[in-house]
Amino acid sequence: MSALAGRLAAFLDAAPVLALVEVREAKGSTPREEGAWMLVSLSSIFGTIGGGQLEFLAIDKARELIERNLSSGALDVPLGPEIGQCCGGRVVLDLNILDAGKRATLLRETEDADLARPQVILFGGGHVGHALAAALALLPVRVTVVETRNDALADFPDGVETMLTAIPEDAVRTARPGSAFVVLTHDHALDFLLVSEALGRGDAAYVGMIGSKTKRATFRSWYLKNGGDETRLAWLISPIGGERVRDKRPAVIAALATAEIMAALSG
């Protein structure tokens, strides 16, 4: 079971009665899209339909269903001054008490959606690798950290997959099309090999390498001498995170690189 599906399963097990709130229609400017959902119990929630006053109204209505032993309801909400929001759109919500069949369906759909999330593969479990994995773990992506050193794979956040291997380039070769590859190992020669493999696929959403202008220039020389071409070299992002912010602390690099990666994955 995936990490997100596991959290959902735990929430479902802890709450015998739940209301499912789903966005049926979203017109104009709205916090979330059609199909977005959240679960509401008398004491907690799972997921979000966008926050703010819209969500507060939905939570109150969902808890009213539970307390009054009703099976369903609906809300048609204009997102204007009347509820303290200025989106300007309109949202129609369906609210239903969750039965056993819908629980199973929701869990299966969550598992499928989680497994279909874009893949981000980090090569290197050093300081920046840990910081980047922690930042990405909060986002709708699947994160795998690949290392050749066992002791570098400790203390990663829940939901981050780890892979110990003597042949890390195999993780590039077997990745799904459209994956993001971030190379930040302890060995420049290994970095160059992994970047070359990632560029050679031709279908990566993002290929990034930690380093400096000098390291990029050195890689360029090596890459072109070993059969690479300028067209594919242009896909490489290095240094990751750009150079507008000079702060080199791992958490800062991770924040900047995370924004790059998510922008690339979104197309």
Q: How confident is the model at residue 51 (pLDDT cuts 50, 70, 90)?
A: confident
259: left (phi over 0), alpha (psi -120 to 50) or beta: alpha
| Nearest alpha-carbon partner for 206 in 152, 259, 137, 131 | 259
How much is the pTM?
A: 0.82
What is the SS3 assignment for 236?
A: strand
Cβ contact 171:194 at 8 Å: no
| Nearest alpha-carbon partner for 46 in 123, 103, 117 | 103
- The whole-number pLDDT of residue 244 equals 84
Domains of the chain: 3-114 (no CATH), 117-265 (3.40.50.720)
Q: Is the dihedral of CA 242, 246, 248, 251 positive or negative?
A: negative
Q: How far apart are CA 219 and CA 10, in angstroms?
A: 47
What is the SS3 assignment for 1?
A: coil
Q: How confident is the model at residue 79 (pLDDT cuts 50, 70, 90)?
A: confident
With b for 16 or more beta-carbon neighbours within 10 A and e for fewer, the 82-114 pattern comes to eeebebebbbebebbbbeeeebeebbeebbeeb
Q: How far apart are CA 109 and CA 9, in angstroms?
A: 12
What is the SS3 assignment for 221?
A: helix
Task: Tell me what the pLDDT averaged over the chain comes to.
Answer: 94
| Nearest alpha-carbon partner for 122 in 93, 153, 95, 92 | 153
Return the percentage of the chain with pLDDT > 70, whole number.
Answer: 99
Token pair listed for 120: 């981000």
The residue-averaged pLDDT of 134-163 equals 94
What is the SS3 assignment for 90?
A: strand
Between strands 206-209 and 236-237, the pairing is parallel
Q: How confident is the model at residue 171 (pLDDT cuts 50, 70, 90)?
A: very high
The residue-averaged pLDDT of 25-34 equals 92
pLDDT in tens, 200-253: 999 999 999 999 999 999 999 999 999 999 999 999 999 999 888 888 999 999
Q: How far apart are CA 156 and CA 141, in angstroms?
A: 15
- The whole-number pLDDT of residue 1 equals 75
pLDDT in tens, 87-113: 678 999 999 999 999 999 999 999 999
Token pair listed for 7: 């959290």
- The whole-number pLDDT of residue 236 equals 97
